[in-house]
Amino acid sequence: MSQPVLVSRNGGLVDIVLNTPENGNLMSAEMGNLIIEAVSHLEEDTRLVRLFGKGDDFCAGRVSPMPQPGATPTGEFLRRRVAMPALALYDALKSTQVPVLAVVQGRAEGVGCALAGVCDITLASDDAQFRIPEMERDIPPALVMSALTGRVPIKTIARMVLTRDVVDAAQALQAGLASEVVARDALLARADEIAASILDCSAVTVRAVKQFLELAPGLSAAASSSLAGHLSGTALSAKFGR
């Protein structure tokens, strides 16, 4: 039986591949845990994590964690079973010490859309499709919305959630959900170019950038400036060996 998530390391690069293409790489609890484990235990010289989906789609959603029909679960059970695993996955990717690059082709729906949103850079093929369909099942997609808030304009989130429309790659780029769009046959080559650019820098520099990206949006102007000074000083002192 094949592994649902493949993790490989090449120097300062860690590649994570969702490996269930037969179902569109639907995210299961096991897959989420494997990703969290991979990004939570990076070696000190790691500078980039890339997240791929094998096959035609990046991630077409989530394996349903809902109880069987007729069950009467408590709110606490549903919070632990449904909400917390997804939130833990999003938080792990956001707080990873190095940048995370999502490489998106085909469908990125529900959890897949959230994963594209929480990554620091989202490279999309021109056939990528982003969608948040949960309200078709009369479920408020608060978990996906929490992943996108602060990264995608609130009007874009409202439109995607309430209409369930498909957002194509060009629209995703305009909305800030995608960082760059390339032809499908150029996707992997461009992902390698981005990786090479990041890997050309030291780990301390790359990690300082990631820390600023994570912390600065929630800070005042003065605190943001203070953080910038601290990170620059730390990185430069490492560069000059002091």
Tokens of 152: 């995608």
Q: Locate tokens 């349903």: which residue?
A: 64
What is the per-residue pLDDT for 48? 98
What is the per-residue pLDDT for 2? 84
What is the per-residue pLDDT for 1? 61
What is the per-residue pLDDT for 100? 98
What is the per-residue pLDDT for 192? 98
Q: Rounded distance, CA 32 to CA 81, Å?
A: 13
What is the per-residue pLDDT for 163? 96
165-223 pLDDT per residue, tens: 999 999 999 999 999 999 999 999 999 999 999 999 999 999 999 998 888 888 888 98
In Å, what is the CA distance from 117 to each residue of 9, 103, 172, 208? 23, 11, 10, 21
All residues at 6 or more sequence positions from 60 whose CB lies less than 8 Å from its CB, including other chains: 23, 24, 25, 26, 106, 107, 108, 109, 110, 112
What is the per-residue pLDDT for 66? 67
What is the per-residue pLDDT for 128? 98
Q: Rounded distance, CA 172 to CA 179, Å?
A: 8
Which regions in the chain score pLDDT beneath 50? none
By three-state DSSP, how is residue 53 classified?
A: strand
Q: Rounded distance, CA 227 to CA 218, Å?
A: 12
What is the per-residue pLDDT for 67? 64
Q: What is the largest CA-CA distance in the chain?
A: 65
On the CB side of 188, how many CA atoms lie within 13 Å of its CA? Answer: 7
What is the per-residue pLDDT for 38? 96
What is the per-residue pLDDT for 78? 72
